[in-house]
Amino acid sequence: MRWLPFQLNPDLPPQGISRADYILRKFGEKDSARYGRVAAIGKTLGLDMRFDRIQVQPNTVKAHRLVHRAGESGRQDAMAEALFRAYFIEGANLTDDATLAEYASQAGFDRAETMAYLATDTDADLIRGADAEARQVGIGGVPFFIFNRRIGVSGAQEPEALLQAMAQALRDDPA
């Protein structure tokens, strides 16, 4: 499995924007009850998502760079999980280098090396290019699953739907 970059809000400035402004722009309301429904579903799965803690709606290029870099050492899942926990449970600002380095260290990466990496633009063009490519092939949101580079499944799906897509991707494999 690989995590591929896709930004929900590629137009946000590098430092992000206030979460309150983002909610107002996106939904036309001060506080979106939509996230309460997501949090309630998360609770049934043992996830205590705390959307109320999020102060900054981030531009996620830096976070995607870290996930990409983690993939080079086979640790994408650990990095992705650390970043998901940081944002959705702890409300961390994913545009802040020190914050990102702290969560990268929790995923097993050297904090100082991560800070040095984030101080550069290394891999930023790669992330933006992969994001643009995803949009060109019709991906418009997350989650989005691609099985065996053949079958795409958009949105949160029941496990059975994902298993069917996996089976179809294997059946359709010419190899």
What digits encode the pLDDT tens for the residues 78-115?
999 999 999 999 999 999 999 999 999 999 999 999 99
Other Cβ atoms less than 10 A from the Cβ of 149: the count is 8
Cα 137 to Cα 130: distance, rounded to the nearest angstrom: 11
* Confidence class for position 32, pLDDT limits 50, 70, 90: low
Lowest mean pLDDT among 2-16, 24-38, 129-143: 24-38
Instruction: Tell me the average pLDDT of the chain.
Output: 92
- All structural domains of the chain, each given as residue ranges with its CATH number in brackets, are 17-138 (3.40.30.10), 143-175 (no CATH)
Q: What single letter denotes the amino acid at residue 145?
A: F
Q: Is the pLDDT of residue 51 over 70?
A: yes
The whole-model pTM stands at 0.88
**Cβ-contact 75, 39 below 8 angstroms:** no
76 vs 158: which has the higher pLDDT: 76
**Cβ-contact 85, 78 below 8 angstroms:** no
Percentage of residues in the chain having pLDDT higher than 90? 70
The pLDDT of residue 172: 76
